[in-house]
Structure 1
Amino acid sequence: MHTNKLANPGPLGLMGFGMTTVLLNLHNAGFFPLTSVIISMGIFFGGMAQIFAGILEYKKGNTFGLTAFTSYGCFWLSLVGLLLLPRMGLAEPSNAASLGAYLALWGVFTLFMFFGTLCANRVLQFVFASLTLLFALLAVGNMTGNHAILTFAGYEGIICGGSAIYLAMAEVINEQLGRTVLPIGAVEVQPKAQAAVTA
């Protein structure tokens, strides 16, 4: 009997998210200005690679992975659109209120997705919890114009992205070596109670 083991697309999506998030939040923390480095990363790795990973999660029957990677891939593409469309004369620039609403909606989505991680490993839970906080900080910071909150969000975002990078590499290395080298805090899922059979 022929069996075809499918590869795990999760590390690709996590790395696309993690590296792009770290890069953008290095800017938010004030280390360098917003340049083509971030925009290009947002299109090709944060955007395209995550969407590609999401499609592969569909093939594996993973609804959570499909929804998460495809959504956040589109988030990065839409963020690039927010930056580039006004410069191309195709749309008006976003004001603080609309940008804050955009970020807040992504925060609400991420909070719901966080609840979906409660049966997954601890590192994935941390990724989504810290991402929820990041969107909240960015939404409040933009709506209030508080530069200190936005700077703090940058540092928090670096930690969030770094945790996704760690999880991606843990999944790759642990699978390659066939043992746990980088722990991810695996959660044991309790089997569903067997229904009593009555005669």
Structure 2
Amino acid sequence: MSDTTFVSLKENTANPAPLGLLAFGMTTVLLNFKNAGFIEMSPMILAMGIFYGGIAQVIAGIIEAKKNNTFGLTAFTSYGFFWLSLVGLIIMPKLGWFAAPSNNSMIAFLTMWGIFTLLLFFGTFKLNRALQFVFGSLTILFFLLVAAHATGNESIEHLAGYEGIICGASAIYTGVAQVLNELYGKTVWPIGPVA
């Protein structure tokens, strides 16, 4: 008779989604304060883009991989690198490493991110209403920014800024809702789970 021992492993990694959502949301709100014309581009926005919008989201995405959440891995890691890329596009020309991207290049960059976001938006139909709003409004934001670059119309950029503030605020709401709902063990801030 053999002595067999069974070991059961339990996943006890914290939920990284609030970190990713808050990093995305807060950085998005700050950049869109600039797009709306409330503040100027500054090192504060760039630093948030690198450290919170960028690195914190990548970390959240990596933890989502450990939790076997492909959507979270793809979204947080991708948008983390979006922020790092965007800051690179602003900083590298100022350092003399490359010429600033042309307007057409920025249109292509923003269009690809808009298409990517639209495709992820369809995945939110299996998640919750709050994430549907985040991804839906982010899709609109990217295409408003494309329109602003394509036309050179400052009014469209300002409209994108207002819309981006709403998008970022919705991500902040969703992140805090997940923290509070988990902490209190009940729905404190509703996120509209899909039935």
Query: Under a length normalisation based on structure 2, what TM-score does the superposition of the two structures give?
Result: 0.95
1:75 to 61, 70, 82: 82
Name the counterpart of 2:128: 121
CA distance in 2, matches of 1:91, 1:4: 45
> In the TM superposition, what are the counterparts of 1:155-170 in structure 2 within 5 Å?
155-170=162-177
Name the counterpart of 1:54: 61
Name the counterpart of 1:147: 154
Report the CA distance shift for 1:166/1:118 in structure 2 as closer, same or farther (over 3 A).
same
CA distance in 2, matches of 1:174, 1:117: 19
Deviations 1:16-69 (A, max 9, x none): 000000000000000010000000000000000000000000000000000000
State the AA in 2 paired with 1:100.
I
Deviations 1:52-107 (A, max 9, x none): 00000000000000000000000000000000000000001112111111101100
CA distance in 2, matches of 1:67, 1:56: 11
State the AA in 1 paired with 2:181.
N
Secondary structure at the counterpart of residue 40 of structure 2: coil
Secondary structure at the counterpart of residue 98 of structure 2: coil
- The percent of aligned pairs where both chains have the same amino acid is 59
CA distance in 1, matches of 2:104, 2:164: 21
Deviations 1:121-177 (A, max 9, x none): 100000000000000000110121011100000000000000000000000000000
CA distance in 1, matches of 2:86, 2:165: 18
Name the counterpart of 2:114: 107
2:41 to 15, 34, 37: 34
Deviation (angstroms), 1:3: 3.1
Name the counterpart of 1:98: 105
CA distance in 1, matches of 2:117, 2:9: 39
CA distance in 1, matches of 2:11, 2:63: 14
Deviation (angstroms), 1:4: 4.1
Name the counterpart of 2:139: 132
Report the CA distance shift for 1:30/1:17 in structure 2 as closer, same or farther (over 3 A).
same
For the 8 Å contact 1:47–1:75, the answer to whether it is kept is yes
Unaligned runs of 5+ in 1: 189-199
Query: Under a length normalisation based on structure 1, what TM-score does the superposition of the two structures give?
Result: 0.93
State the AA in 2 paired with 1:122.
R
Name the counterpart of 1:193: none
The count of aligned residue pairs is 188
State the AA in 2 paired with 1:130.
S
1:173 to 167, 177, 180: 180
Deviation (angstroms), 1:119: 1.0
